[in-house]
Amino acid sequence: MNYVTTKDGAQIYYKDWGTGEPVVFSHGWPLSADAWDVQMLFLLQKGYRVIAHDRRGHGRSSQTALGNEMDTYADDLAAVIDALDLKGATLVGHSTGGGEISHYVGRHGTKRVSKMVLISAVPPLMLKTEANPGGVPKEVFDGIRTNTANDRSQFFKDLALPFYGYNRPNAKVKQGVIDDFWRQGMAGGVLGLYECIKQFSEVDYTPDLKKIDVPTLILQGDDDQIVPLDNSGRKAVEIVKNATLKVYPGASHGMCTTEADKVNADLLAFLQS
């Protein structure tokens, strides 16, 4: 398997398929690079080079006691991009991964980046504060912490339902999707997953969004029960220069899976633009 070793000795697993223009994917919580398999296979077959890594504490990467925070996540991503000497890459981030690629730009700039895609992404800030009254109350994230610490196996099975909109009337529930969500979540380490909750909920990515200076596509569903559209995509498009927001009617947080054909088509069109 492919690994990059970081400055603190962590091993970051990555997939690297194909040749041509590089597209780098950053996954959501509590998943792994496998969450991007449908998009990666599609774009590989269209002639692109596709790369996706497992965030530390997730998937096949090291389960470290330290570094489970966004500065290090962004530096880990930089380590992969630098090791592969990628140039003109399109960065694609889903949910927490949207925060990761934004913070990557905030810390490392866009010298290796040509475009960005934020999908159901957490920026600018998920947490409800005086300055962000439309955010999610801290009690919700405390509940996620408690469930992750005490019974994450059952919690991941339960969380998959709102994640993919399977709790909606007349939803076509796919047990295989739920099983794969659970599989990816359980592959991670409980410490890294627990500490990552703060990173997707309490970090304010507004300064990072302001530093994005490449064309940016924002995709999100208006039935996202995990990251509310009005507090994320609709705000991010007002902050990022040269950004476009496309809203998917009725789509869930897990739209890369439930709306894969539409997402793939929009990614390809953006890459070719």
Taken in order 129, 240, 42, 27, is the CA torsion positive or negative?
Answer: negative
Amino acid present at 251: A
SS3 18: coil
CA distances to 13, 137, 152, 258 from 157, rounded to whole Å, are 25, 23, 8, 17
Helix (H) or strand (E) holding 215: none
Kindly report the number of other CB atoms within 10 A of residue 139's CB atom.
Answer: 8
Which phi and psi angles does 14 have, rounded to 5°?
Answer: -145, 155
Distance CA 2, CA 5 (A): 10
**27 noted as active-site residue:** no
Q: What share of the chain is helix, strand, coil (3-state, %, to 5)?
A: 45, 20, 35
**253 noted as active-site residue:** yes
Residues 6+ apart with CB under 8 A from 101: 24, 26, 77, 91, 92, 93, 116, 118
Catalytic residue among 95, 102, 120, 252: 95
Distance CA 160, CA 198 (A): 20
The C-alpha angle 125, 261, 12, rounded to 5 degrees, equals 55
Amino acid present at 128: K
**26 noted as active-site residue:** no
Distance CA 39, CA 261 (A): 9
* Residues acting as catalytic residues: 95, 224, 253
